[in-house]
Amino acid sequence: MKEKGRPPYYEVIRDPLLRYMVRRLRLLWALEHAANLMSWDLETHMPREGIRDRSAALEEITALMHSIATSSWLREMIEAAQERLEELNDYEKGLVRVVAREVRIATALPEELVRREAKITAEATKVWEVARKRSDFNMFKPYLEQIVEIQREKAERLGYEDHPYDALLDLYEEGLRTRHVEEIFSKLVPATKKVLDEVRRRGFYPERHMLEDKEYDVDKAREMVRRLLGLLRFPLGERGRVDESAHPFTIDMGVYDVRITVRYEGRDFKRFVYSAVHEFGHALYELQQDPRLDQTPLVGGVSLGVHESQSRFWENIVGRGPWFMPELKRLADETIGLTRGVDLLELYRYVNTVRPDVIRVDADEVTYNLHIYLRFTLEKKLIEGSLRVDELPEAWNSLMEELLGVRPRNDAEGVLQDIHWSHGSIGYFPTYTLGNVIAAMIWRSLGGPDAEMLHRLDIPGLQEWLREKIHIWGKTYPPRTLVEKALGAPPTADALVEYLEWKYTRLPDKVEELLNPQR
């Protein structure tokens, strides 16, 4: 077990026992590295029939990771470290917290339950695909019933103080509770409705734009994405890749290899542009980790909510801001060409359409969180047992109509639209809104309406700011603590409400002056 020189984490992990633990956990890190590459390949390059062996190989590796996380030596080490927490530095405390949490979750969920969930969700995902195509909720219903039961069982095994849904939320966002989410929505939902009314009254932000129908050449779109990533200083070839997949995603094999994917649909170019900027935001978070945390359990984004705040910040606040329009036009002019003769104001209106619609993934900044509120409300009821799965489609459609004024014409447009539940991911959706909340808090910390770095489109400056405040810490602090440390307060809806009111009700009057960055 000799090392060539001292590993970089020796600079931050000084406790001998914890150094030894990190060394032993390097296998777990390596297995995750391998599993991530296997998942990336599965979505991008794998020959079709390769799935037969890939699933089996991933299953073996996941089971091994689970057995390491539940091993007695690891539990004993963590218990020994917990006895003298006060002697440890912040990184070491973080290490103990992160590993203890993984051990606790892995230990609470017996292998039998994990296998049962893996089996039913694998089947459910296939059934969901067909059910959505046929718009037939009844096909999917028995699977969803089993999945809800399993999630309720997981909640009981994991434990919670107030609400069983807390236990599920915590799986995706350490420390997030139902009451936190309720508090956010209690302000955000009415404020959003007011902003939406104002948007419709003024008509500055259109519901549709004629550029949506323009077709682009996919090869030229690829070139546009390469240049866009260049503008954003994504280290293509050095520490990053961009590939294509059915659903865009970001995945990392450590801080030196972070990969994103995009999808080209052939029309409405803002879709691939903002999907690429979104994934770039995720990737930047991984790329800007402190390299001394590499190969330790502390490396990587701390939670889904904080991760989503990074992607949303770049996508919506930087990329859909007026300051981004000159660069966007230049890139599009030089590649796909559809923007020649379109002025910056028109381009800004095209990338900022606001349209209450039934489909979440097509939703704009204003309406997006209402979709999440709908899912949060229904999930909470399913888990506490106050709503039955067979009542779900009607509950979905009614709440959709109440919130957005539109009603799905069928299950495919309604309750069957998302893949998440078929994967067993209940408690996941709220992290999307949390991401928007934190992104707006970053905007406010940067100066809000007067944020200099945005007005100047100072990309290196923004990256350095995010690196120092957030990225560099990895998982050292729990997400709420990190947000408080970096942005001055735990997540609340205030900044997001302020941002939406500013952008959608006040900015239209002075957008012209912001369309050109002041460099």
Q: How far apart are CA 192 and CA 496, in angstroms?
A: 10
Q: Smallest gap, in angstroms, from Cβ of residue 225 to a second copy?
A: 16
251 bridge partner residues:
259
Is residue 281 within a helix (H) or strand (E), and if so which, with residue range? helix 270-287
Q: How far apart are CA 328 and CA 299, in angstroms?
A: 33
How far is Cα of residue 131 from the mean position of the Cα atoms in its chain?
26
Q: How far apart are CA 102 and CA 66, in angstroms?
A: 9
Q: How far apart are CA 67 and CA 20, in angstroms?
A: 19
Q: How many CA atoms lie within 13 A of 78 on its CB side?
A: 19
Q: Smallest gap, in angstroms, from Cβ of residue 148 to a second copy?
A: 23
Q: Smallest gap, in angstroms, from Cβ of residue 222 to a second copy?
A: 15
Catalytic site residue from 32, 279, 286, 315: 279
DSSP 8-state symbol, 267? B
List the end-to-end C-alpha distance of the chain, in Å, as a whole number: 53
Q: Smallest gap, in angstroms, from Cβ of residue 341 to a second copy?
A: 33
Q: Smallest gap, in angstroms, from Cβ of residue 126 to a second copy?
A: 14
Is residue 261 within a helix (H) or strand (E), and if so which, with residue range? strand 258-262
- When the beta carbons of 31 and 387 are compared against a second copy, the nearer one is 31
- Among 262, 254, 272, 280, CA closest to 43: 262
Q: How far apart are CA 263 and CA 274, in angstroms?
A: 11
Q: Rounded to the nearest 5°, which phi and psi values hold at 114? A: -60, -45
513 is catalytic: no
- When the beta carbons of 254 and 305 are compared against a second copy, the nearer one is 254
261 bridge partner residues:
243
- When the beta carbons of 295 and 316 are compared against a second copy, the nearer one is 295
- When the beta carbons of 27 and 210 are compared against a second copy, the nearer one is 27
- When the beta carbons of 117 and 257 are compared against a second copy, the nearer one is 257
Residues near a second copy, by CB under 8 A: 2, 4, 26-27, 29-31, 33-35, 37-38, 41, 45-54, 56-61, 63-64, 115, 119, 235-241, 253-257, 259, 294-295
Report which residue type is found at 206: P
Q: Tell me the two tokens of residue 170.
A: 């915590």
Q: Tell me the two tokens of residue 356.
A: 């209450």
Q: Smallest gap, in angstroms, from Cβ of residue 274 to a second copy?
A: 24
- When the beta carbons of 84 and 119 are compared against a second copy, the nearer one is 119
Q: Smallest gap, in angstroms, from Cβ of residue 54 to a second copy?
A: 7
Q: Smallest gap, in angstroms, from Cβ of residue 276 to a second copy?
A: 17
How far is Cα of residue 169 from the mean position of the Cα atoms in its chain?
14
- Among 410, 273, 266, CA closest to 331: 273
- When the beta carbons of 37 and 395 are compared against a second copy, the nearer one is 37
Strands in 362-491 per DSSP E: none
Q: Strand pairing of 250-252 and 240-244? A: unpaired
Q: Strand pairing of 240-244 and 258-262? A: parallel
Would you say 355 and 489 are in contact if contact means Cβ atoms under 8 Å apart? no
- When the beta carbons of 4 and 201 are compared against a second copy, the nearer one is 4
DSSP letter string, 326-393: HHHHHHHHHTT-TTTT--HHHHHHHHT-----S-GGG--TTTHHHHHHHHHHHHHHHHHTSS-GGGHH
Q: Smallest gap, in angstroms, from Cβ of residue 286 to a second copy?
A: 12
Question: How many CB atoms are closer than 10 A to CB 394?
Answer: 11
Instruction: Point out the residues that are catalytic.
Output: 279
